[in-house]
Amino acid sequence: MADTFTLTNNNTGETVDLQLHEGTTGPSAIEISTLYKEKGLLAYDPGFVSTASCQSAITYIDGEAGILRYRGYPIEQLAANSNFLEVAHLLINGELPTTSELIKFEEIISHHTMIKESMRNFFHGFHYNAHPMSIMIGVVGSLSSFYHDSLDIHDPRHREISAHRLIAKMPTIAAACYKHSVSEPIMYPQNNLDYCGNFLHMMFSTPCEPYIPNKTAIDAMNLLFILHADHEQNASTSTVRLAGSSGANPFACIASGIASLWGPAHGGANEAVLTMLEEIGDVSNIDKYIAKAKDKNDPFRLMGFGHRVYRNFDPRATIIRKMCHQVLSNLADNNNPMFELAMKLEEVALNDEYFIERKLYPNVDYYSGIIYRALNIPTNMFTVMFAIARTVGWVAHWSEMIADPMQRIGRPRQLYVGATERDYVSIDKRK
Ligand code: SDX
């Protein structure tokens, strides 16, 4: 008999046995799916702090130990040895590719980077100052209007080609958002360039002169994309899963993930960190802003700090912080005031009782924006960068969910706290 967990109602002595599920690593889970049918009770967990929404074999996080593994491989090893497309293959297929598999995968992605010619017109319908994330939501969602040949989500081949198209076209669409904002021609991808080099080409080259992507920038982008590729059931990935559970097509699901990622409490934080650092302006203002972050009556929060799962440190922040030094020394003037300010702010916060007590440490978004800034990526494109990378995680989770024979539409319940039954009152009798 599988292990069970017994719940007891202390008022009535009534008990219910719930099945305990063991994973390969990490916390066990109590199955409550029969609780309502058997006992008319619901589990209550706003924000899903203690809720496992699914089983998954893709990414493992241990928040206490600061562990992050993609398909069992520690993020530190992938950051040191891999590149983004190899990690994409790992996350989607479950294994690191052989040399021939990687060459084939890179070729497939490379040959899906172009967008349909008519799609290039979509960007001109947006105002020049539209936030690029608003354009991404619209244009990525509209991909489903071009690919009727691959919308049968129960066909593994359709799922695979949709995943390839999404991974391949995100940089092209992202760069087109930027080009539209600066009224420059939207550049075509170059199949002879690697994934990150091609993105930099589409962002910064013009038809007027040759452009050679900078090697340091390519390496930095590969690393940032690896670190942002997946993160188990975060808000945007859970959004993609819930949208996908209704049978919506993959392009619509990824558009919903982009929408969720945009929030400043999630992927929008990297843009918010730079805005915050610019607002703080100088180390002499740090104490004032630390006080604001601690003041319950002040909505200000220290952007780039805190995490629902990591309660000691975000391993990605540790890796990014180190890389920040290298990029700034290679690409920008060494005493980058923004970086100095970020380091000083981190030092002050990490020695403040409020942050220590609440285990608030820099997260993945705290330093990434500083590096993107050094790569001349504009601030309003930072979350777009996050979306390019996280598309790999989103499509991996979407495919895993659709392929799961236990999969059913996600439909949470609620604790109702509204008005009890009452009769309609005609308008002439209302006060
Ligand atoms: C990402 O889920 C993922 O994995 C996300 C992500 C991924 O890869 O997908 O890792 C990417 O989204 C990273 C997080 C980026 N967001 C930010 O940097 C925004 C600032 N951080 C906060 O908004 C907050 O820390 C969250 C949203 C990240 C976590 O929110 P929780 O877990 O709901 O924590 P909470 O709001 O309940 O805070 C607990 C306490 C509260 O104080 P008390 O009520 O206990 O007195 O900590 C305080 C909060 O007020 N707090 C902060 C704070 N974060 C939490 N106080 C000041 N500054 C902050 N940043």
- Please report the pLDDT score of residue 275 as a whole number: 93
Greatest extent of the chain over all pairs of C-alpha atoms, in Å: 80
| Residue 231 banded pLDDT, cuts 50, 70, 90 | very high
218 neighbors 197 (Cβ within 8 angstroms) = yes
Greater confidence (26 vs 335) lies with 26
How far, in Å, CA of 323 to CA of 328, rounded?
Answer: 8
Exposed / middle / buried, residue 42 (Cβ in 10 Å: 0-12, 13-18, 19+) = middle
Q: How far is CA 1 from CA 19, 31, 55, 87, 415, in A?
A: 9, 15, 21, 39, 32
Structure tokens at 99: 């040399």
Nearest CA to ligand 1 atom 13: 266
For ligand 1, is residue 271 a contact (CB within 6 Å)? Answer: no
For ligand 1, is residue 360 a contact (CB within 6 Å)? Answer: yes
For ligand 1, is residue 109 a contact (CB within 6 Å)? Answer: no
- Please report the pLDDT score of residue 334 as a whole number: 53
- Please report the pLDDT score of residue 2 as a whole number: 62
Query: Ligand 1 centroid vs 249 CA: distance in angstroms?
Result: 31
pLDDT at 184 over 90: yes
CB atoms within 10 A of CB 57: 12
- Please report the pLDDT score of residue 44 as a whole number: 97
Query: Ligand 1 centroid vs 266 CA: distance in angstroms?
Result: 9
Residues in the chain: 431
How far, in Å, CA of 293 to CA of 95, rounded?
Answer: 43
pLDDT at 23 over 90: yes
Greater confidence (115 vs 367) lies with 115
201 has catalytic annotation? no
* Contacts with 94 (C-beta within 8 Å, 6 or more apart), sequence order: 57, 71
Q: How far is CA 24 from CA 29, 337, 399, in A?
A: 12, 45, 21
Query: Ligand 1 centroid vs 197 CA: distance in angstroms?
Result: 33
Alpha-carbon radius of gyration of the chain: 24
377 neighbors 332 (Cβ within 8 angstroms) = no
Amino acid making up residue 364: V
Q: Which of 420, 379, 142 is nearest to 269 (CA)?
A: 379
359 neighbors 312 (Cβ within 8 angstroms) = yes
- Please report the pLDDT score of residue 333 as a whole number: 59
Query: Ligand 1 centroid vs 308 CA: distance in angstroms?
Result: 6
For ligand 1, is residue 303 a contact (CB within 6 Å)? Answer: yes
Tell me: the pLDDT tens digits for 139-177? 999 999 999 888 899 999 999 999 999 999 999 999 999
- Please report the pLDDT score of residue 335 as a whole number: 64
- Please report the pLDDT score of residue 182 as a whole number: 96
- Please report the pLDDT score of residue 290 as a whole number: 96
Ligand 1 pocket test target in 290, 308, 353, 356 with most atoms within 8 Å of CB? 308
Cα 350 to chain center, whole Å? 25
Q: Is the dihedral of CA 280, 282, 288, 291 positive or negative?
A: positive
Nearest CA to ligand 1 atom 5: 234
Backbone angles phi, psi at 5, to 5 degrees: -125, 125
Strand order in the sheet with 73-74: 59-62, 67-70, 73-74
Structure tokens at 132: 């690029």
Query: Ligand 1 centroid vs 410 CA: distance in angstroms?
Result: 25
Mean pLDDT of 99-124: 98
143 neighbors 247 (Cβ within 8 angstroms) = no
Backbone angles phi, psi at 406, to 5 degrees: -85, 0
The one catalytic residue in 307, 314, 352, 397 is: 307
365 has catalytic annotation? yes
How far, in Å, CA of 306 to CA of 266, rounded?
Answer: 11
CA atoms within 13 A on the CB side of 202: 28
For ligand 1, is residue 306 a contact (CB within 6 Å)? Answer: yes
Instruction: Give, as one character, the DSSP assignment of residue 333.
Output: -
For ligand 1, is residue 302 a contact (CB within 6 Å)? Answer: yes
Share above pLDDT 70 across residues of the chain, in percent, rounded to a whole number: 99
The one catalytic residue in 89, 164, 365, 397 is: 365
